[in-house]
Amino acid sequence: RRPSKTSRMNMDGNAINQKEKQRVASLSTDAMRPEWLDILARIPGDGLKGEGFPRNVLGVIMHNSETFGPFLNYWVVSKLELGLTVREQELVILRMAVLYKSNYVWKHHVKVGREFGVTDDELTALRDGGDFSSFSVERERSFLCLTDEVVEHRTIRSEMWEKHSQILKPKDIVDLIHLTSQYTLFATMNNAMQVAIEPAVDVLPGIEDDISSDLSRRVSDI
């Protein structure tokens, strides 16, 4: 059973419909420069490779070839060198997808997140938000609370700083802001340009779809 078609974002915060016609055509990623391909080969894990490769959004960003290479390197180096583990990064990225109502980011990172141990229950918690008390690791809860904080308030308020700076190191918080900034770009690019979700990824459950017991089957099918 495929997930239901997502709806267009409205004032109630529904996910943006990426079934609309894409506004800017994706350039062919087959034309990527060899040095760009070398950078992409360093992405950790398999979720963003092969059928999970985000070719459509990268093809849009490629419209400026002068900034694309440096951005690509920054993105991939960040995945490798940020103080957040890959799992911690995926939790933050999935939460960013929810906050920005980006099914493109959500569907790609459901696949990656599961590769790095994100469970069905955790996906539901990320979608629903709240205090993230269902996450047993204090560090993960702090990263998620601060993700909501910087998106909602565009800063970290004093009381939140006092609380979470006791849990996270300064480098952790700096790195978190790097990560949320990257996915502000990706989510906004996907939403504003109405980037089409690649068919092999589009079968995964969207933000508004039921994250049910058949999710493992859906992931293994692609």
98 pLDDT exceeds 80? yes
210 pLDDT exceeds 60? yes
pTM: 0.88
pLDDT at 6: 36
Q: What is the mean pLDDT of residues 20-38?
A: 94
14 pLDDT exceeds 60? no
Segment 49-55 long-range contacts (CB within 8 Å, at least 24 positions apart): 51/198, 51/200, 51/201, 51/222, 52/108, 52/111, 52/112, 52/200, 52/201, 52/222, 53/29, 53/198, 54/104, 54/108, 54/198, 55/26, 55/29, 55/198
Q: What is the mean pLDDT of residues 26-41?
A: 96
Tens of pLDDT, residues 158-181:
999 999 999 999 999 999 999 999
Res. 56 pLDDT band, cuts 50 70 90: very high
- Residues 6+ positions from 17 with CB-CB distance below 8 Å: 5, 6, 7, 8, 9
- Give the closest residue to 130 by CA, choosing from 165, 98, 103, 84: 98
Q: Which of 20 and 62 is assigned the larger pLDDT?
A: 62
Q: What is the mean pLDDT of residues 195-201?
A: 96
DSSP 176: H
pLDDT at 13: 53
- Judge contact between 24 and 193, C-beta under 8 A: yes
C-alpha neighbours within 13 Å on the C-beta side of residue 18: 29
201 pLDDT exceeds 50? yes
